[in-house]
Chain A
Amino acid sequence: LAKTTQPISMDSYEGQEVNITCSHNNIATNDYITWYQQFPSQGPRFIIQGYKTKVTNEVASLFIPADRKSSTLSLPRVSLSDTAVYYCLVGNQAGTALIFGKGTTLSVSS
């Protein structure tokens, strides 16, 4: 399974756009990129998943360049409630276990 590297922490202010980049240099051809969010004392929660180019849903966008060796999670106009740990995971098949890395702790201040 491809290893991922993310910044350990990031700080932001309410209303700003936050971009968290994840490196996955040895991503395989059929690997997908998935992002999860985790609040203290809760289980991780799915945010978004993509294979290439750009994916957007109601909470975030995921940008994947052509070489797919990195990806960027974009959170528009963050609020205090977006303070959490964000995990980037790479996996290729339905049903196989996704491996969590260290994640990025995002702190949003007012």
Chain B
Amino acid sequence: EAGVTQFPSHSVIEKGQTVTLRCDPISGHDNLYWYRRVMGKEIKFLLHFVKESKQDESGMPNNRFLAERTGGTYSTLKVQPAELEDSGVYFCASSSRLAGGPGELFFGEGSRLTVL
């Protein structure tokens, strides 16, 4: 079974440009999360989808970030316009659990974003 896949693995853009990151969760996983790690800092939660609905977007830093999950399958995270402080590694995770304990989150390898 394929794991969580993220694309691109690394993106280098200039300040002011737009970047779109994509995440393909494990098939059948209703929960999809975006996290990011800015250089030297902790992994920070960005948002959580349940199917196509945004369950929690409290971690989104500002309105330059837009996440979508049309059809409840893959998700995209767009940064427009990108700023220097957006540089970091963006992780996507998915899980199937909808009841009981938190269950296991399956993480992708991450998309490294470098804004120059």
Q: Taking beta carbons and an 8 Å cutoff, which residues of A are in contact with B?
A: 32, 34, 36, 41-46, 49, 51, 87, 89, 91-103
Contacts and interface: CB of A to CB of B under 8 A. Distances in A.
Contacts of B35: 100
Contacts, number: 75
A38 B109 CA distance: 10
A100 to B, nearest CB: 4
Contact of A95 (B45, B97, B106): B97
Contacts of B101: 32, 49, 51, 91-94
B48 A95 contact: yes
8 nearest CB pairs, A to B: A43-B107, A94-B97, A100-B43, A32-B101, A46-B104, A91-B102, A97-B45, A95-B31
B74 interface: no
B58 to A, nearest CB: 8
Given A44-B107, A46-B106, A100 B42 contact: yes
Interface residues of B, number: 31
Interface of B: 4, 30-31, 33, 35, 42-45, 48, 50, 55-56, 59, 91, 93, 95, 97-110
B104 A49 contact: yes
Contacts of A49: 101-104
Nearest to B97: A94
10 contacts: A42-B109, A44-B91, A49-B104, A87-B43, A91-B101, A91-B102, A94-B97, A95-B55, A97-B33, A100-B35
A94 B43 contact: no
A97 B103 CA distance: 11
Nearest to B55: A95
Contacts of A46: 104-106
